[in-house]
Chain A
């Protein structure tokens, strides 16, 4: 009856992507039949344990890791905290510095703040105007830098980072490398072994799994101080009873993502090209961010001068399209995103940024529907912007 119940055409897959039907089935079956604690020694417990270990293998396969390197966590934020805080804390006697790229996810910045409060110094690695880190900065790390954090794909722009080279240079400087692969996993091939990342994080709900389940891949030999203690779960690396249904869903999602990866990449890239061409046609002044570097096939981050992010988001929502504002926080403040600011995007352009992200449910018809709705929404948003000091 009310407007809130209608379904929007969804262009916000980087925020969260619909759960795959195979996952719904697996999680439902798990909730229905796998009620035991995976640590219990009886056969019911062993069944739950077996489901966990199967998921561990599925996750390991997606990111080319070994099953025993997979630590289940609650998602990206926890994975990043466990890697950055736990990885640096484990080496605190060797040095109290970490370095993170300027475009890391909030979760990594937050984890670095935790370390700062513990007396660590945090360096921020600059990026170029495409949002790609300046690798040479890794050749001049301060002595005592124990951990470097470089994401695989940026959540806002989709820009891919040279993680393998970053890992090599970090290792040379004596630092371990943490890689937030939350946005990359399922969208581009992720090979933890080839990247030689010491810590790598993925999240279930970004690849068609449920929210509340993710994984930290801890490379063999990489030290880790657990954040949650008190019991020996996950080989002592993450205390707390395992979220069996969530983890089972994560595993199935990982398996599906791996299965579809080869076909989905080109399909999404074609949709992205169609989307960008259409946007350029209807908004001649559009600025596509990170357009001149390798990026995720599903993500378009673009500024439409004169149309402030919050206005354009509302105008598109009212016309049936769900997108993400590239320039607003939870409180609604229109602040340039720190990612675009680090890329030296001018403020007046940055506050007009929109993120359009696609996924396994996105069709060409949906892209065309967005392109059909876009000119009118843009006109409405620009009409406000002219007056609202946007």
Chain B
């Protein structure tokens, strides 16, 4: 048997993190399960489907009881509110489409929890993410895509501090979802057939705008305003910027000879800019400061693959570091719907090189108006 490790296991209440923790316990390691409490359940009733409800805490507890290791709930509401929820709101108010899962992983699971490892003297943090951490060629460790590509979560992990990878384990990185459920069944975990969590765990029913307005009292970005085309002609009225995202086609309420897409959101003028599909294309993008999962940033012009949404086939590109710590990414072929706020994650094959929020698209030369105002989003 390998040396017995003291392990802190992050447990959301779902089957993945349950199996990850249980597998380490089964190997004989000294596991302590922790569920982060992210929302105040007393005042914010959430969908039972969400992964961070009281039911989820009970589910995680049951797994710990079944496997015979201790489990605790720790209150991380403050960190969640300041590091995830507030940036989520601010991004929408600024006409961006945020990706809070990346922030949650960065600040909660691999920030807050890492600091809590010392409470139990743990040397290893375990989560149920589908991704791999392996020795990298040329030294150090690297973050890699999961063996099960359909479940791969490396995109959501690109903001994890590089130093945290060294003491993190992803036991599910080499497994398929079917194998994970089979382990859950074999170990008698009651969560074995629990449905997948969908979208953002803290937003019930996918209604982001409703959640922001009704549950969080957000007022910014909720005022009606004009919908204009790329030449500035007013085509209609929008319901408030937080209802829209770049690349969106449905729900615009416009009659036009060809399909129109949201090209940009301009909070300064409270305007939604729409245009034909080709106007969505950008030759590249600029990011906010990068989180590198490398010992040193790559040299200018390095060939990479850039993934700009969770469900996006990575595009061949070259990367050019900028003075501010961000990068300029130039695609080999233009990409559609570069969306400020979403993560741009750079890969070398399976390896994650780093990631950052997209600041703005590079202007699409010769294709009409720029996909987004390049002066925007630099904050």
- Taken together as a complex, chains A and B put the C-alpha atoms of A3 and B8 apart, in Å, by 12
Q: Is B40 an interface residue, CB under 8 A from the partner? A: yes
Chain A residues lying within 8 Å of B112, measured Cβ to Cβ, are 387-388
A312's closest neighbor in chain B, by CB?
B119
Chain A residues lying within 8 Å of B25, measured Cβ to Cβ, are 2
A387's closest neighbor in chain B, by CB?
B115
Listed from nearest, the 4 A-B pairs whose CB atoms lie closest are: A332-B73, A389-B78, A318-B120, A2-B68
Chain B residues lying within 8 Å of A383, measured Cβ to Cβ, are 115, 118
Contact between B115 and A389 (Cβ–Cβ < 8 Å)? Answer: no
Q: Is A109 an interface residue, CB under 8 A from the partner? A: no
Question: Of residues B28, B35, B37, which shows the largest number of chain A Cβ atoms within 10 Å of its Cβ?
Answer: B37
Contact between B37 and A318 (Cβ–Cβ < 8 Å)? Answer: no
Contacts A333-B75, A384-B119 known; A3 to B32 CB distance under 8 Å?
A: yes
- Taken together as a complex, chains A and B put the C-alpha atoms of A381 and B116 apart, in Å, by 8
Contact between A311 and B116 (Cβ–Cβ < 8 Å)? Answer: yes
Contact between B119 and A380 (Cβ–Cβ < 8 Å)? Answer: yes
- Taken together as a complex, chains A and B put the C-alpha atoms of A275 and B313 apart, in Å, by 62
Partner of A331, one of B41, B119, B121: B41
Q: Is A32 an interface residue, CB under 8 A from the partner? A: no
Chain B residues lying within 8 Å of A317, measured Cβ to Cβ, are 70, 72, 120
- Taken together as a complex, chains A and B put the C-alpha atoms of A390 and B119 apart, in Å, by 14
Q: List 18 A-B contacts (CB under 8 A).
A: A1-B68, A2-B25, A2-B68, A4-B64, A4-B70, A308-B75, A314-B120, A315-B119, A317-B120, A331-B54, A333-B42, A383-B115, A384-B115, A387-B112, A388-B79, A388-B112, A388-B116, A389-B82
- Taken together as a complex, chains A and B put the C-alpha atoms of A314 and B69 apart, in Å, by 13
Contacts A384-B116, A388-B115 known; A331 to B76 CB distance under 8 Å?
A: no
- Taken together as a complex, chains A and B put the C-alpha atoms of A5 and B31 apart, in Å, by 12
Q: Is A150 an interface residue, CB under 8 A from the partner? A: no
How many residues of chain A get a CB closer than 8 Å to chain B's CBs?
26
Chain B residues lying within 8 Å of A3, measured Cβ to Cβ, are 30-32, 68-70
Contacts A388-B78, A389-B79 known; A331 to B37 CB distance under 8 Å?
A: yes
Q: Is A163 an interface residue, CB under 8 A from the partner? A: no
Contact flags (1/0) for A353-390 with B, using CB distance below 8 Å?
00000000000000000000000000011011001111
Contact flags (1/0) for B215-247 with A, using CB distance below 8 Å?
000000000000000000000000000000000
Q: Is B136 an interface residue, CB under 8 A from the partner? A: no
- Taken together as a complex, chains A and B put the C-alpha atoms of A318 and B91 apart, in Å, by 40
List residues 94-141 of chain B with CB under 8 A from any CB of chain A. Answer: 112, 115-116, 118-121
Contact between A333 and B77 (Cβ–Cβ < 8 Å)? Answer: yes
Q: Is A290 an interface residue, CB under 8 A from the partner? A: no
B231 to chain A: closest CB distance in Å? 48
B186 to chain A: closest CB distance in Å? 17
Contact flags (1/0) for A287-331 with B, using CB distance below 8 Å?
000000000000000000000101101110110000000001001
Q: Is A107 an interface residue, CB under 8 A from the partner? A: no
Chain B residues lying within 8 Å of A333, measured Cβ to Cβ, are 37, 40-42, 75, 77
- Taken together as a complex, chains A and B put the C-alpha atoms of A314 and B35 apart, in Å, by 12
Q: Is B67 an interface residue, CB under 8 A from the partner? A: yes
Contact between A310 and B73 (Cβ–Cβ < 8 Å)? Answer: yes
B8 to chain A: closest CB distance in Å? 10
Contact between A4 and B119 (Cβ–Cβ < 8 Å)? Answer: no
- Taken together as a complex, chains A and B put the C-alpha atoms of A328 and B69 apart, in Å, by 21
Q: Is A286 an interface residue, CB under 8 A from the partner? A: no
B120's closest neighbor in chain A, by CB?
A318
Q: Is A135 an interface residue, CB under 8 A from the partner? A: no
Q: Is A225 an interface residue, CB under 8 A from the partner? A: no
Question: Of residues B37, B64, B68, B75, which shows the largest number of chain A Cβ atoms within 10 Å of its Cβ?
Answer: B75
A347 to chain B: closest CB distance in Å? 12
Q: Is A222 an interface residue, CB under 8 A from the partner? A: no
Contacts A1-B28, A332-B37 known; A310 to B69 CB distance under 8 Å?
A: no
- Taken together as a complex, chains A and B put the C-alpha atoms of A118 and B141 apart, in Å, by 65
A182 to chain B: closest CB distance in Å? 26
Contacts A3-B32, A3-B70, A317-B70 known; A332 to B75 CB distance under 8 Å?
A: yes
Q: Is A334 an interface residue, CB under 8 A from the partner? A: yes
Q: Is B57 an interface residue, CB under 8 A from the partner? A: yes
Q: Is B74 an interface residue, CB under 8 A from the partner? A: yes
Chain A residues lying within 8 Å of B115, measured Cβ to Cβ, are 383-384, 387-388
Contact between B76 and A388 (Cβ–Cβ < 8 Å)? Answer: yes
B259 to chain A: closest CB distance in Å? 47
Contact between A311 and B74 (Cβ–Cβ < 8 Å)? Answer: yes
- Taken together as a complex, chains A and B put the C-alpha atoms of A313 and B119 apart, in Å, by 9
Contacts A331-B54, A333-B77, A389-B82 known; A315 to B67 CB distance under 8 Å?
A: no
Chain B residues lying within 8 Å of A5, measured Cβ to Cβ, are 68
- Taken together as a complex, chains A and B put the C-alpha atoms of A1 and B26 apart, in Å, by 10
Chain A residues lying within 8 Å of B68, measured Cβ to Cβ, are 1-5
Contact between A4 and B28 (Cβ–Cβ < 8 Å)? Answer: no
List residues 1-38 of chain A with CB under 8 A from any CB of chain B. Answer: 1-5
- Taken together as a complex, chains A and B put the C-alpha atoms of A383 and B119 apart, in Å, by 9
Chain A residues lying within 8 Å of B54, measured Cβ to Cβ, are 331
- Taken together as a complex, chains A and B put the C-alpha atoms of A384 and B118 apart, in Å, by 8
Partner of A314, one of B41, B67, B74, B82: B74
Chain B residues lying within 8 Å of A328, measured Cβ to Cβ, are 73, 75
A153 to chain B: closest CB distance in Å? 28
